[in-house]
Each structure stands twice: as structure tokens, then as C-alpha cells.
Amino acid sequence: MRPPILELRGVSAGYGAIEVLHDVDLVIERGQVVALLGPNGAGKTTTIRVASGQVRPTTGFLHVAGRDVTGVSAGALARAGVCTIPEGRGIFANLTVRENLWMATHGGPSLGEVEECTYARFPRLAERRTQVAGTMSGGEQQMLALARGLAVDPVMLLLDELSMGLAPKIVAELYEQVAAIASEGVSVLVVEQFARTVLGVADHTILLANGMVRWSGATADIGDTALAEVYLGQGRSADPTPDTTTSPSPGGTAP
């Protein structure tokens, strides 16, 4: 049996003295699309940063295609085919669209190929090829960021909050492209806050909270109610009524 394309084994990681991830296990099989969901501060972005080589786990291992690559630089992983679109606009704001695409060629493909592929998928970017990327709209910027992931023909695509700050219509458009590339057999790890958006794309879902995996399984097994519980915190106790009346009386500040 071929080893999974990406695997985090018992990973704990953080920044300085602050540990964000606690003993996280995560497996992405070849061709799988995995959604990593959870409220803010759950450690989703840190998970992506570990998987992309930007953060070195304090304990645990990162495996790519069955090989231990713990501690390998992000650039090396990128050139090996692990393509990461980071949170926030993953573009160089002061470079033109074309120069941005040029930067995607470090992994192998020529600028011509990258441009061709990008403009075919996002015709809007072709019109803006000489425009400075930072002056485009949020949606166009994110298209450009995603374009790199599509054009470099990656082995593994890591997407961090593609939808952040974008209108639903544009988000839907972006995820059509993700679904398309997934259907070509590329493994994808999608981190999202817009849970429902990615549920249509992902085969497998992992729910992360407080740096630990809370739920993991086939996407089909997760329902909206369960999601809403995690996100809006309605279900942690059996009684769903919000309780503002039992807040402590004035002066009740001592522990």
C-alpha cells in the first residue's frame, strides 16, 4: 500500500513558549480532499504552517509521501510539490500579476505555462496582467493566489482560509476551481471558517478546537447542527438557553 501523501504524527507546535497544537494526528490519503474546520484560535493555521514547513513541530513528525521531512524548509517542500496558499492574500502586493505568476515558476514550470493555465481558468486576470496586484479587488487577489496552486501542478495543495473577507459569490467561484483540481487527483487540505462552503468539496472532515482534534470522519457524517454547535457554542451544555441573568453581582470580581 502506498503511504499517505501527507501525515502529521503526534505533532505539538507553537510559537516560543506558547504551544498551540497539542499532539495532533492528521492523515491525508492520495487524491483526498480534507476539510480542516474549527473556531478561531483552534490551531488551523498553525496546522497548515506545520504541514508547509513554516513551523517546525516541537514534538512529532511531518511525513510527505511516506518520508520524514520534519524540519525541512518551506521552500524545499514547495519545490517538491507541496503548494501552500497562506491565509490572507497569498500574493506579492507590489508586484504585477505577471510577476506574481513568475514567482510560481520556482517549482519547475515555465512562465508561459503558468500564465496560460492561469488565464484559461481566470480570464479576468489576463486583463490585469500588468496591473500591480495590491490594487486589485480582494476577489481578484485571491484568484491570483489560488492560480499559483492550480498552475504549478502540485502533489498536495494546502489552502488556508481562501474565503477570508470575500463575498459568497466569489468564494463559490474559487471553490469550483478547487473542486476541479481535486477531480484531477490532487490531494487538498482546506482550512475554512465558512464550513458549509467546503463541505460540498471535501470527502473527509476534521474538526479542530483548542489545538486538539475533536472530530474526524467522512464529511457525509457531519450535520449542520453539529457544526453550528461547534461554531456558535450552543451545544456545549445540555441547556441551550443563554444565561446572562446568572452573571455575578457587582463586586463579584474576586476569584
Cα–Cα dist 98/118, whole Å = 10
- Which residue lies nearer to other proteins by CB, 26 or 192? 192
Non-local CB neighbours of 13 within 8 Å, separated by 6+ positions: 19, 20, 21, 46, 49, 50, 55, 56, 57, 58, 60
2 near other proteins (CB under 8 A): yes
Q: How far is the CB of 67 from other proteins (least distance, A)?
A: 6
Label residue 115 left, alpha or beta by phi (over 0 means left) and psi (-120 to 50 means alpha): alpha
Can you read off the three cell numbers belonging to residue 211?
489545538
Binding mask 79-118 for other proteins (x = CB under 8 A): xxx--x-xxx-xxxxxx---x--xxxxxxx----------
Cα–Cα dist 22/250, whole Å = 37
Q: Which stretch binds other proteins (CB under 8 A): 115-123, 213-221, 230-238?
A: 230-238
Q: Which stretch binds other proteins (CB under 8 A): 118-126, 195-203, 212-220?
A: 195-203
Cα–Cα dist 244/116, whole Å = 57
225 near other proteins (CB under 8 A): no
Other CB atoms within 10 Å distance of the CB of residue 61: 14
Q: How far is the CB of 99 from other proteins (least distance, A)?
A: 5
Among positions 54, 177, 216, 219, the unique one binding other proteins when judged by CB under 8 A:
54
Q: How far is the CB of 89 from other proteins (least distance, A)?
A: 8
Among positions 189, 197, 206, 222, the unique one binding other proteins when judged by CB under 8 A:
197
Q: How far is the CB of 202 from other proteins (least distance, A)?
A: 13
Cα–Cα dist 82/62, whole Å = 12
Q: What angle do CA 222, 223, 225 make, to 5 degrees?
A: 135
217 near other proteins (CB under 8 A): no
Q: Which stretch binds other proteins (CB under 8 A): 119-127, 193-201, 214-222?
A: 193-201
Binding mask 136-155 for other proteins (x = CB under 8 A): xxx--x------x------x
Return the closest-CA partner of residue 97 out of 72, 130, 120: 130
# chain residues binding other proteins, by CB under 8 A: 96
